[in-house]
Structure 1
Amino acid sequence: MISDADAAVMYDVLNPWDPAHWPGDRFYAELVMAADSVLDVGCGTGAMLILAREQGHRGRLVGLDPDRAALNRAARRADVDWVEGVAAQATSGAGFDLATMTGHAFQFLLTEADLRASLTAIRAVLRPGGRFVFETRHPQARAWERWNPSNVGDVDFLGRQLRVWHEVDSVVDDVVTFHGTVAEPDGTVLRVDSESLRFLEVRALNALLADAGFEIEAQYGDWDREPITEASREIITIARRPG
């Protein structure tokens, strides 16, 4: 079997944070390094903030995540503050320059109540003029149609060869529920994790941001900062707390 601690390590194997090679990572890294204080909401194993510290960031860095196993892995770097909790529990009045949600973490906010409470809390942690930056998959790209067993991936996990794939269970309105499987090469299942993601249209997303008191500074359809078009796969948003 694959434990929660092993799953946290595997996440980093499958999703290495590398601004030198991945445009999305570079997009966020530049923003983080330019900000005096950063709250990474849904920080997971903390790779973004850990690299920022290693590359010389001297300001306040805080990672917030509800996954204890992921935070335990993140805690290998003690000069970043790691906090267990969800977005709606972010501490009001903290005065951050920048809040981020990377890795499509924003899509884990499923209900209207979750979205509104989370956006309100994130706005409250920012100083006047502070920015909230995140991305969500554009529903028009229908990314979930590629999440199927035919797209199996072979993974070298600490010298152990494993197979990883995803399979969609349901699509109800704008919420997609799926499960990910980790198995031996012979197909012996070691771990199954179920997740749900919400795919918001641009208009609905922007209405929620406005209701929470954000102004939209910019929105892009890709990591090269091109505008959103009918072919865009992402909705990358820079929202600002007025002040």
Structure 2
Amino acid sequence: MTSEPPPERAVEPDPSGAGIDAAALYDLLNPWDPDRYPGDRFYAGLLAGAGSVLDVGCGTGAMLHRLRADGHRGRLVGLDPDTDALARARRRTDVEWVEGTAADARWDGEFDLAVMTGHAFQFLVADEEIRASLAAVRAALRPGGRFAFETRHPQARAWQEWNPANAADITGVDGRPLRVWHEVDSVAGGAVAFHGTTATPDGRVLRVDRAVLRFLELPALNSLLAEAGYEIEAQYGDWECGPVGAGSREIVTVARRPAGSA
């Protein structure tokens, strides 16, 4: 596997996908397992205490599937714009699945906790998109409700590790061996454009996916949160709840809609 989980949920599939199921491939590369992965364990702790949960950018729904299977009895809602991913998520029918982006959310004070896991927050690229998304998620929270998400700290320059030398060799859902890697196309203004390649072990390309991620500096992120009316409850530089510092690879944020706020 790569030294860090590859950039998640690449979009714009190449027509030459050769039967590769992108949603199933995502699940293979990014399994939800709090017993193995510190990031999943961090979120599992928050989820367990929340009576109602909105998973923004839920993808294939693996987190909510596991949460329900583990006995969560409250309201669980997954929101995602990817129809193929949602089709896979809908295999479980005791969770609400809604097609749309974060900015499309139209709930009003209905959730104790909203989350964006798997670095999904970084797919919000333009400031206007971030502002609209933060506002919609805040509106969906009950007063006092929390919004938890993470973004890679730009100082770690994680994109430098996205290259064929860090390819992941996996077995596809159909049993055939696959090799997956990522390459950077451009870095400008805090936005990193990249493409992911799925190929046979001998290098025959089966699928190419492209996406752009935003790497926000901490002051800019906190300014946008304050502008949207959040209080920052906590920020960590790693999944063990260490402080954000010079060596941090992550900015893990727990923000709150203030109690008594409109």
Where 1:43 maps in the other structure, the secondary structure is coil
- Note if 1:132 corresponds to 2:161: no
**1:109–1:3 distance in 2 versus 1, CA, 3 Å:** farther
SS at match of 2:251: strand
Q: Say if 1:230 and 1:4 are closer, same or farther in 2 by CA, change over 3 A.
A: farther
The equivalent position to 1:87 in structure 2, one of 92, 102, 109, is: 102
Any idea what the Cα deviations from partners look like across 1:18-48, whole Å, max 9, x if unmatched? 0011010011111111100000000000011
Question: Is it true that 1:205 corresponds to 2:216 in the alignment?
Answer: no
Match of 1:218, SS? strand
| Bigger relative CO (Cα 8 Å, ≥ 6 apart) | 2
The whole-number CA distance in structure 1 between the counterparts of 2:73 and 2:152 is 32
Partners of 2:171 and 2:19 in 1: CA distance: 18
Q: Measure, in 2, the Cα distance between the counterparts of 1:50 and 1:3.
A: 28
Distance 2:31 2:18 in 1: 20
Q: Compute the displacement of 1:73 (Å).
A: 0.2
Distance in 2 (alpha carbons) for counterparts of 1:167 and 1:224: 29
Match for 1:39: what amino acid? L
> Are 2:210 and 1:194 aligned?
yes
Question: Considering only aligned residues, what root-mean-square deviation do their CA atoms show, in Å?
Answer: 1.1
- Name segments (4+ residues, structure 1) moved above 4 Å: none
Of residues 85, 90, 93, the one that matches 1:75 is 90
Identify the match of residue 234 of structure 2 among 200, 218, 229.
Answer: 218
- After TM superposition, list the pairs within 5 Å mapping 1:1-243 onto structure 2: 2=17, 6-158=21-173, 159-243=175-259
CA distance in 2, matches of 1:126, 1:36: 12
Instruction: Return the offset for 1:5.
Output: 7.3
TM-score w.r.t. the length of structure 2 is 0.91
Unaligned runs of 5+ in 1: none
| Number of aligned positions between the proteins | 243
| CA offsets 1:30-75 (integer angstroms, 9 cap, x no match) | 1111100000000000011000000000000000000000000000
Structure 2: gaps spanning 5 or more residues: 1-15
Q: Deviations over 1:148-203 (max 9, x none)?
A: 11111111112110110000000011000000000011211110000100000100
Name the stretch that deviates more: 89-98 or 43-52: 89-98
- The structure-2 alpha-carbon separation of the partners of 1:3 and 1:242, relative to structure 1 and needing over 3 Å to count, comes to farther
- Residue 203 of structure 1 aligns to a residue whose secondary structure is helix
For 1:66 and 1:115, how far apart are their aligned partners in 2? 16
Alignment partners' CA distance in 2, 1:82 and 1:142? 34
Identity level (%): 67
Indicate conservation of the 8 Å contact 2:184/2:193, yes or no: yes
Spell out, residue by residue over 1:106-161, the C-alpha distance to the aligned partner (whole angstroms, 9 max, x if none).
00000011000000000000000000000000000000000011111111112110
Structure 1: distance between partners of 2:109 and 2:27 = 29
Secondary structure of 1:168's match? strand
Q: Is the 8 A contact 1:4 1:69 kept in 2?
A: no
